[in-house]
Amino acid sequence: MSHPHPDLGLPPVLPTGALRIVALGGLGEIGRNMTVFEFDGRLLIVDCGVLFPEPDQPGVDLILPDFDYIRDRLDDVEAVVLTHAHEDHIGAVPYLLRERADIPIVGSRLTLALIESKLVEHRIQPVTLEVVEGQRRRFGPFECEFLAVNHSIPDALAVAIRTDAGLVLHTGDFKMDQLPMDGRLTDLGGFARLGAEGVDLLMSDSTNAEVPGFVTSEREIAPVIDEIFRNSDKRIIVACFASHVHRVQQVLDAAEQHGRKVALMGRSMVRNMGVARDLGYLRVPGGLMVDSREIESWPPEDVVLICTGSQGEPMAALSRMANRDHPIRIAEGDTVLLASSLVPGNETAVNKVINGLTRWGARVIHKGNARVHVSGHAAAGELLYVLNLTRPSNFLPVHGEWRHMRAHARLASLTGVPDEHIVIAEDGVVVDLIDGRASIVGAVPCGYVFVDGTSVGDVTDVALKDRRILGDEGFISVVVVIDSTTGRLTGGPEIHARGSGIDPDDFERVIPQIEKALQEAAADGIADVQQMRRLVRRAVGRWVSDVYRRRPMIIPVVVEV
């Protein structure tokens, strides 16, 4: 899938002393965050994440940013700065490093630990540089200052990028929890200091720009989890994001208080929590954890399972439990806690899992019926606060769908940013900061790159269309044998169908039409195989459309003898 910009041509050559910003993902969508900064012929990348496929993208595992814009300039890349360790910000790093393995990867301690554990699976040994909040590092012409922000994963950072073109503040994903679980506050003082220095361009998280007020503190979830534990007589199963260290910590604390053992399920959950524990971000009391393979031998009232699958992913542990395709069998009286927000587009899948779990007698608690999750993204009140602190000369909303970015732009306008200095862009749109003014100057080709198993970029929009047709309408294959000299039919037609909803006996009605089309072609001296295939496809397609009002995929096979 591409992002066409018919009203925008290719950008001009970047003027001397100007800064160019090109988002290759993350604008107009939730995910695939990747922004390229260019100054003085050198490049700096902030984040490199993935997007998860929609139901109308069958067979696709992941969606990557399109690296074509920088593919011929990988040697110009000074570093990749990672704001935090969520998949939509780090998931595409292995695919970028396949193209140049020695690009320095810059991030906080936990972020680097999680990306390094991921890269082990790809057999890539990265070049990493650990940074902490308050630190400044120079990468070529880019001086980066890192600021603490709190989010739904520890160790998140905002980055201020200084060049001779001006100061850009990229917030990354953030919120302003005043009582964070780890005591690590968003550095509002740092934001204000940058505002006093002069922020030439603010790029700020737009996810919750439509939500009024301030996000609830993570600490308010703990009493709700404690109450769920008190009122549960059987097994408790908690599903959350594999990166949500704070939520897992709250569950571990409740389990310890109520005398339950805990088992982790799901490869990413086990891997991430192991890293968080080893680095001291997750406190695990001695004797609390048990192996998931032993959990069935414990009394139900003594155990808690923490697993993946809160978004209804088909192969995740929770979905398999709901489908009775997992060693853990949901039983009457079990409590299932979905401790995460609902990613847009996953509603149907999640509701299917909830219904499946409820069918087997589980009590399912989720954000819709209890306060069991708070967002990791700043709401409108917090976004206004940051806009007023930083007082940017120019504003570019990032990380959000169009409605979120539009809402964020309105907030910026209310705080006094001139409308002509508010730039709303999408993937591939080129924004230049020249003489203190940000403006759109063109666009570059920027599409979706699909990962399907080990295949990267081989799946096209045409292939996806074929898959959707196969899934919705099925297929019909028609085999005919023709004389290679005369083009006359010597065998068949033989017709097979799968998933088309057509009675096989009905194909007897279309065979005369196929024979007639081929006989007329032979009489006209047509013996080309490609033309024969088109004739067969047209005859069968017309008949199926007229009789059944359907459009299955038709695969003609012409054999010459």
Q: Quick check: 400 and 209 in contact, CB under 8 A?
A: yes
Give the number of C-alpha atoms closer than 13 A to the C-alpha of residue 87, restricted to the C-beta side. Answer: 14
Residues designated catalytic? 205, 377
Q: How many whole angstroms separate alpha carbon 19 and alpha carbon 148?
A: 25
Two structure tokens written together for 381? 């009140």
Q: How many whole angstroms separate alpha carbon 250 and alpha carbon 179?
A: 14
DSSP structure class, residue 340: S
Q: How many whole angstroms separate alpha carbon 31 and alpha carbon 406?
A: 17
Residue whose C-alpha is closest to residue 270's, from 258, 257, 259, 284: 284
Q: In what order do the strands lie in the sheet with 449-452?
A: 62-64, 449-452, 455-456
Q: Quick check: 497 and 552 in contact, CB under 8 A?
A: yes
DSSP β-ladder status, 136-139 and 142-148:
antiparallel
Q: Does 84 show up as a binding residue in the annotation?
A: yes
Residue whose C-alpha is closest to residue 177's, from 223, 213, 215: 215
Two structure tokens written together for 433? 């900061």
Q: Across-strand partners of 307?
A: 239
Q: Across-strand partners of 236?
A: 304, 335
Q: Do you find a cis peptide bond into 552, omega within 30 degrees of 0?
A: no
Q: Does 88 show up as a binding residue in the annotation?
A: yes
Q: Does 5 show up as a binding residue in the annotation?
A: no
Q: How many CB atoms sit inside 10 A of residue 534's CB? A: 14
Q: Does 463 show up as a binding residue in the annotation?
A: no
User: Integer distance in angstroms from the first to the last C-alpha of the chain?
Assistant: 42
Q: Does 173 show up as a binding residue in the annotation?
A: yes
Give the burial class of 252: count Cβ atoms within 10 A of its Cβ; 0-12 exposed, 13-18 middle, 19 or more buried: buried
Q: Does 244 show up as a binding residue in the annotation?
A: yes
SS3 405: helix
Q: Does 89 show up as a binding residue in the annotation?
A: yes
Q: Does 246 show up as a binding residue in the annotation?
A: no
What is the signed CA dihedral for 66, 464, 119, 51, rounded to 10 degrees?
A: 60
Q: Does 61 show up as a binding residue in the annotation?
A: yes
User: 193 CB contacts (<8 Å, ≥6 apart)?
Assistant: none
Residue whose C-alpha is closest to residue 26's, from 240, 204, 210: 204
Two structure tokens written together for 379? 């709401």
Q: Does 297 show up as a binding residue in the annotation?
A: no
Cα 529–Cα 530–Cα 532 angle in degrees, nearest 5: 65
Q: Does 496 show up as a binding residue in the annotation?
A: no
Q: Quick check: 402 and 214 in contact, CB under 8 A?
A: no
Q: Quick check: 65 and 32 in contact, CB under 8 A?
A: yes
Residue whose C-alpha is closest to residue 473's, from 494, 495, 498: 498
Q: Quick check: 35 and 470 in contact, CB under 8 A?
A: no
Q: Do you find a cis peptide bond into 4, omega within 30 degrees of 0?
A: no
Known binding positions: 59, 61, 84, 86, 88-89, 151, 173, 242-244, 373-377, 399, 452
Known binding positions for Ca(2+): 59, 61, 452
Known binding positions for Zn(2+): 84, 86, 88-89, 151, 173, 399
Known binding positions for substrate: 242-244, 373-377
